Every structure is written in C-alpha cells, then in structure tokens.
C-alpha cells in the first residue's frame, strides 16, 4: 500500500497545505472501465487499522484520467485471458495517510497484528510500509489484484493485500511456482501499459511518468 513514499527520515516533517481541490482530470474508474471490480478496503473496517479511514466517504476508485485510461487497457487485456482486475485502493487523500501515521504511532493498538503484520513489530512499519507521504495521494497509483472470471476467486498471490511482511515482496523466495506465476501475470499486464511495480508489494503500481509528481491531494473520496 505504501510504495513511492518518503521514509522514516522525513516522518517528523509536517506536510503543509496539501491540495484540497479535486482537479477536473480525476475520474472514477467505474466511468472508464465499469467491469473492474472494487473492494475499497479503507472505506470499511476490513483493513490494517481496523476502522474506516479518514477521507473515504464512498467506496470509489478515483484516479487521474491518464492512469484510469491506462488501467482500462490493462483490464481489456485481462478480460481476454479470462481475468478481471479488482482494485483495493486508488487515489488516497492526505488525511488518510495522516490517519495511518497516527495508527502506527499508537503502539497500544495491536488488534490487527495477527492478520496484517504477524512477524513484525509495529514500530518497524514506519518507512517502507507506512510513511508521511504516499504516491497514492498524487492520483496515479493503484493497489489491485486479479480475479479468475470462471471461479470468481482472486488468484493466489502468496500473501494477502496489505500484508506487512517480506513475503509480500514480488520475488520473495518462499512463494510457490504458481503464486509467482500469478504475481508475474499481474506485473506484466500492468507494466505493459506504463505502470511501474513496487518490489516490496506485489499489488502496488504507479503510472510513469506521474501526471502530478510533486503534488499531494487531500480532497475526500465521495
């Protein structure tokens, strides 16, 4: 979930005046590629914080139009292979990132440890996994997986979305051959349309070049 972030060294810095206005170039993926499935985890409680996240007022996937159009091309190729994309998170308001930082700073909140970071101390999540700025807030980063259309099941990727653990690294040696094949299928579909992967998280991709490389937005998802 985190990739393309500024790490622990800047955790103490204050993000001043994040951009609160929604640019006209941001669109809902449902309007561009309605067959893409959605499971927007931060709208509800099924996430590593265990509660709805600040800034998510609707279970929508919003993206800059360039990223949305590129993702629609990925979906077309996936459908040709009997698959569909399922998105977990797209544009993420800065206030949601702030919510994550507050959570990781509260070491007493450990309710989700067994599912999301069973092998790590919460304190080490700051940096590679959770940081004060996220590429998602720029509007061209997406977290997603593949679903087999015949079975309706997500492909086995060897770890769950937002599993904070080295096993979520795309090339972790512990995953089996089929899980690696599934990860590479997703990676290859995404990179073919201009998305760059994040090696620590098999589900995380960012469009290159970024339409807003230096801007972090804070308008709510509604």
Residues 123-133 pLDDT 10s: 899 888 998 99
Is residue 133 one of the residues assigned to a domain? yes
Residues taking part in catalysis: 201
What DSSP element (H or E) covers 189? helix 177-191
Q: Which domain holds residue 42?
A: 24-207
Is residue 14 one of the residues assigned to a domain? no
Is residue 219 one of the residues assigned to a domain? no
Q: Is 143 annotated as a binding residue?
A: yes
Task: Please tell me the total number of residues recorded for the chain in this structure.
Answer: 222
Q: Which two tokens stand for residue 101?
A: 């930082």
SS3 of residue 64 by DSSP: strand
CATH of the domain at 154: 3.30.1380.10
Asked if residue 27 has pLDDT above 90, the reply is yes
Q: Is 115 annotated as a binding residue?
A: no
Count of C-beta atoms within a 10 Å radius of residue 166: 13
Is residue 199 one of the residues assigned to a domain? yes
Q: Where are the beta strands (DSSP E) in the chain?
A: 26-28, 37-38, 62-64, 83-89, 141-148, 195-198, 201-207
Is residue 11 one of the residues assigned to a domain? no
Is residue 186 one of the residues assigned to a domain? yes
Is residue 6 one of the residues assigned to a domain? no
CA distance 28 to 59: 11
pLDDT digits (tens, 9 = 90+) for 84-114: 999 999 999 999 999 999 999 999 999 999 9
Domain count within the chain? 1
pLDDT digits (tens, 9 = 90+) for 163-182: 999 999 999 999 999 999 99
Is residue 15 one of the residues assigned to a domain? no
Report residue 2's pLDDT band, with 50, 70 and 90 as the boundaries. low
């Amino acid at each position: 979930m985190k990739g393309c972030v500024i790490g622990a060294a800047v955790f103490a810095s204050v993000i001043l005046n994040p951009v609160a206005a929604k640019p006209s170039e941001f669109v809902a993926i449902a309007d561009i590629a309605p067959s893409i499935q959605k499971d927007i985890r931060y709208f509800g409680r099924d996430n590593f914080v265990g509660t709805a996240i600040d800034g998510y007022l609707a279970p929508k996937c919003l993206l800059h139009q360039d990223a949305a159009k590129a993702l629609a091309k990925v979906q077309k190729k996936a459908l040709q292979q009997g698959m569909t994309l399922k998105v977990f998170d797209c544009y993420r308001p800065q206030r949601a990132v702030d919510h994550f930082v507050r959570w990781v700073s509260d070491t007493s909140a450990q309710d989700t440890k067994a599912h999301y970071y069973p092998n790590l101390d919460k304190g080490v999540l700051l940096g590679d996994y959770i940081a004060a700025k996220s590429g998602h807030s720029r509007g061209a980063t997406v977290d997603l997986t593949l679903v087999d259309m015949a079975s309706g099941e997500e492909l086995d990727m060897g770890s769950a979305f937002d599993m904070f653990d080295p096993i979520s690294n795309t090339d972790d040696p512990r995953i089996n051959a089929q899980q690696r094949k599934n990860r590479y299928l997703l990676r290859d579909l995404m990179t073919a349309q201009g998305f760059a992967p994040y090696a620590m998280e098999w589900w995380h991709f960012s469009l290159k070049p970024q339409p807003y490389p230096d801007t972090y937005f804070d308008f709510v998802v509604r």
